[in-house]
Structure 1
């Protein structure tokens, strides 16, 4: 949780404020690093709600794989000067991994639902 919570705010800032400057680049590197750590760490957590695959993975783990795919492809895109592809990948990452997957973690029966809502 310590790696993903800052990404909620960092990602929003990066999406809605000026792009391409040095602050955007520094915060983007921090954001990408934290998201990669979160995605890798989440793969070690078993799915506790819904069906399991290989006695471990659940549907929510698809967002981890989305993250592990989106970040390198977004980074490669911007290094090649493909701003449009980078933008699409980063929006897809924020919506999929932060908003949708984050929303699923707050569903009743999940650990974080208990933490935040008792």
Structure 2
């Protein structure tokens, strides 16, 4: 593993990675821990701020130039921004079921799903993590798949009901 590809990347990519990595870790923590506590609310606000930074910074990344500097991934960034707003609105309205669905979609689509594509050979995260190893992304994808199955299982949600 080497940080050189990231350190050589444009500042927008560095900001993007600096926001999304803690968002990935914090999001997993929030999904696994009890909901509705003061800690959950505070960390949830931090997580949403990280997600907004991640989405906004992506508009300055133009590595995949398909349409005037933008690509389909930028549509995901718009959806993330809308999702962050919807998560806040639903939490304030105490519409917890919708809040859970929106936040789950943000995490699994905006962090896990999009993050998995960053490990495709030739991308910066692949070069950072695997340094040219072609089998490692498949192992990462399998690990992410198992984590998704565990996190989305009914068992974990039954154990982590709102207090």
Would you call these one fold, judging by a TM-score over 0.5? Answer: yes
Root-mean-square deviation (CA), in Å?
Answer: 1.1
Question: Counterpart of 1:5?
Answer: 21
In terms of fraction of residues, the more helix-rich structure is: 2
Query: 1:32-43 residue pairs with structure 2 within 5 A?
Result: 32-43=48-59
Name which of 75, 79, 93 aligns with 1:62.
Answer: 75
Query: 1:11-90 residue pairs with structure 2 within 5 A?
Result: 11-48=27-64, 52-54=66-68, 56-90=69-103
Runs of 4+, deviation exceeding 3 Å: none
Question: Would the aligned equivalents of 1:7 and 1:31 in 2 still touch at CA under 8 Å?
Answer: yes
| Relative contact order, higher structure (CA 8 A, sep 6+) | 2
For 1:105 and 1:66, locate their aligned partners in 2 and report how far apart those are by CA, in whole Å. Answer: 18
For 1:59 and 1:103, locate their aligned partners in 2 and report how far apart those are by CA, in whole Å. Answer: 15
Bigger CA radius of gyration: 2
Question: Would the aligned equivalents of 1:47 and 1:60 in 2 still touch at CA under 8 Å?
Answer: no
Q: TM-score, structure 1 length as denominator? A: 0.92
Q: Partner of 1:18: helix, strand, or coil?
A: coil
Where does structure 1 lack aligned partners over 5 or more consecutive residues? none
Where does structure 2 lack aligned partners over 5 or more consecutive residues? 1-16, 132-163
**How many residue pairs were aligned?**
115
